[in-house]
Amino acid sequence: MASRVAFFVIGLSLIFIHADADASSKAKFSYSDETGPALWGGVSSDYTTCKTGKSQSPIDIVTDKAVLNKKLKPLKREYTPTNATLINHGYSLEMKFTNAGPLILDGKNYTLSQMHWHAPSEHTINGASYDAELHLVHQASDGSLAVIAILYKTGGTDPILAKVQSKLDELAKEKCGDDEESQIAVGTFDAWKLRRNTRKYYRYVGSLTTPPCSENVIFHVFPKARSISKAQVEALKAPLQSTSKSNNRPVQPLNGRTVELFDELG
C-alpha cells in the first residue's frame, strides 16, 4: 500500500521538501493556471532563474545545426541492481534509487540517483514532440548534474514501465492533496536494464526543467525513440494532480548555446 507524507503548512504558505534533483522545489508550482511554467519565475524568489536564466532546458534540437564533436565518446554506464521507491509528487512521478551505479563522463562519476517521466516530451527534435520523455538524473559528489533524456513514441509496451505497472495503479488510487505526496516501495530494481547502446546522442549544457531551474546541467538526448503504449502513458498521468496531467515545460531559447552531436558513424 502506498504511504503518504504530509508537509508543513504555515499560514497560507505551503512548504514542501523534495528530494528530486530535477524538481527540488520548496514552493508550489504546476503546469497550468497561476503556477504554470510561464509564471514559475514569480512563484518564489528561489525560482527567478526560471525567468532570467540564459541556459534553460528543454530545447528544440535542430539536427542540421548540431555540431559533430569527434572527441565525444559512447556513454559509459555502470548501473547495478538497487532498492527503489516510486514517489508521486503530484506534478511528476519519480523512481528514487539507493545506489544504482554511475554514469562516467570525462573520468568523473555521476551516480544515478533517480528517474522521472514527462508526458508529452519536453525536448523536441526539429520541432517534433514525442509522447513521453524519461529523465535519468545523475549527481556527482560535488553536486553537479548530468541527465540522460530518452524519448518515447506510442507503440509497443515499454518493458521498464511494465515491471512497475501495479505500483503505478496503486498510486493512482491514492488521493493526495496539495500538501501531500505518496510513495510506494518497488523493491530491487535492476537499473542495468535501463542501459541501451546508442550510436548517436545530442549533448548540451542546460538546466533543471522544473523549479528552481538551476543551470549547468549536462544533457544527453537520445534521438532514437523507444516505444510506450498509450495505456502506459495514461498510467503515468493518472496519479498526477489535475494541473499537472501534461507535465512538460515548453522549449526554451537556445541563446547561442552549441548543441553537440556524438555519432559513431560520423
DSSP string, 14-65: E------TT---SS---SSGGGSGGGHHHH-GGGTHHHH-SS-S--EE-GGG
What's the pLDDT tens digit per position in 232-247? 999 999 999 999 999 9
Radius of gyration of the chain (CA): 18
The total number of structural domains that make up the chain: 1
What's the pLDDT tens digit per position in 11-21? 322 222 233 44
Mean pLDDT for the chain overall: 90
Which one has a higher pLDDT value, 26 or 127? 127
Assess if residue 21 is contained within a domain. no
Which one has a higher pLDDT value, 40 or 13? 40
**Residue 244 is part of a domain; what is its CATH number?**
3.10.200.10
Checking if the pLDDT of 264 tops 70, the result is yes
What's the pLDDT tens digit per position in 69-92? 999 999 999 999 999 999 999 999
Residue 155 lies in domain: 40-263
Assess if residue 127 is contained within a domain. yes
What's the pLDDT tens digit per position in 124-183? 999 999 999 999 999 999 999 999 999 999 999 999 999 999 999 999 998 665 667 899
Assess if residue 240 is contained within a domain. yes
Grade residue 27 by pLDDT with cuts at 50, 70 and 90.
Answer: confident
Grade residue 229 by pLDDT with cuts at 50, 70 and 90.
Answer: very high
Assess if residue 172 is contained within a domain. yes
Assess if residue 236 is contained within a domain. yes
Residue 261, strand partner residues: 68, 202
Separation CA 231–CA 181 (nearest Å): 23
Assess if residue 13 is contained within a domain. no
Assess if residue 26 is contained within a domain. no
Q: Which three cell numbers stand for residue 38?
A: 510561464
Separation CA 239–CA 217 (nearest Å): 28
Grade residue 26 by pLDDT with cuts at 50, 70 and 90.
Answer: low
